[in-house]
Amino acid sequence: MKEDYLSIGKRRKLIEEIRKAGIKNEEVLQAMSEIPRHLFIEKNLERSALLDHAYENKAIPIVAGQTISQPYTVAFQTELLEPAKGLKVLEIGTGCGYQTAILLKLGMKVYSIERQRELFESTKEFLPTLGFTGARLFYGDGFKGVPVYAPYQRIIVTCAAPYIPDALVDQLDKGGIMVIPVTKGDTEIMTKIIKDANGQISLKEFGNFKFVPMLPNVQR
């Protein structure tokens, strides 16, 4: 794997910044410190000048009009998910696979779905080149989830949902957690949904974030 000391140093700095911003889950920080974010960005950039920003705490536009989320947002959302080894997690919006890689690093059984064929194909090819094997990647509409492998103990939605899709709530296991940014006006409210042992749902909101929209159907 192409890793230079400069990238490792910049990444270490970024992780410290995220820690100072309030992320406490050491496993999440550790996973992020081991993943070469710049390679995910490099692979998907239209303008290579943006690569210089790989280890700044900001979102970066990539191919197909998509964005790789701000590192703090990724860390915050992953922490809220209460990740743990061996849990089955469904990710909506594979994108460039950065979040997928974090979930794999955390030892989770990852199922991830993407609606853009171009991104789906390239990420499917790219992840194994960095040693990230074992994720099951699907091309399809995340509003429908991936019912064949349900239920999932965790669901993470990495695009802004106009509402909480019923199919995803149905596919969440009892005792499970879903983290989903829900659009309200021109911002997204990070929302944690907990399904208790009896199948009862409760919701908690965690402030405003910015995501690309969750869109219906697939794009060829």
What b/e sequence results for 12-39 when a residue is b if at least 16 CB atoms lie within 10 Å of its CB, and e otherwise? eebbeebeeeebebeebbebbbebbbbb
Check if the beta carbon of residue 160 is closer than 8 Å to that of residue 211.
yes
Q: Which residue stretch of 7-15, 16-24, 78-86, 208-216 sits at the interface with ligand SAH (rule: CB under 6 A)?
A: 208-216
Tokens (6 digits) for 3: 């890793």
Least Cβ distance, residue 71 to ligand SAH (angstroms): 10
Q: Which of residues 108-127 bind ligand SAH (CB under 6 A)?
A: 113-116, 119
Check if the beta carbon of residue 89 is closer than 8 Å to that of residue 110.
yes
Q: Which residue stretch of 25-33, 80-88, 89-97, 125-133 sits at the interface with ligand SAH (rule: CB under 6 A)?
A: 89-97
92 binds ligand SAH (CB under 6 A): yes
Residue count of the chain: 220
158 binds ligand SAH (CB under 6 A): yes
Tokens (6 digits) for 22: 């309030």
Helices (H) and strands (E) in the chain, counts: 7, 9
Q: Is 69 a catalytic residue?
A: yes
Q: Which is nearer to ligand SAH, 43 or 192 (CB)?
A: 43
Enumerate binding residues for ligand SAH (CB under 6 A).
Answer: 66-69, 92-93, 95-96, 98-99, 113-116, 119, 141-143, 158-159, 212, 214-215
Which residues participate in catalysis according to the annotation?
69
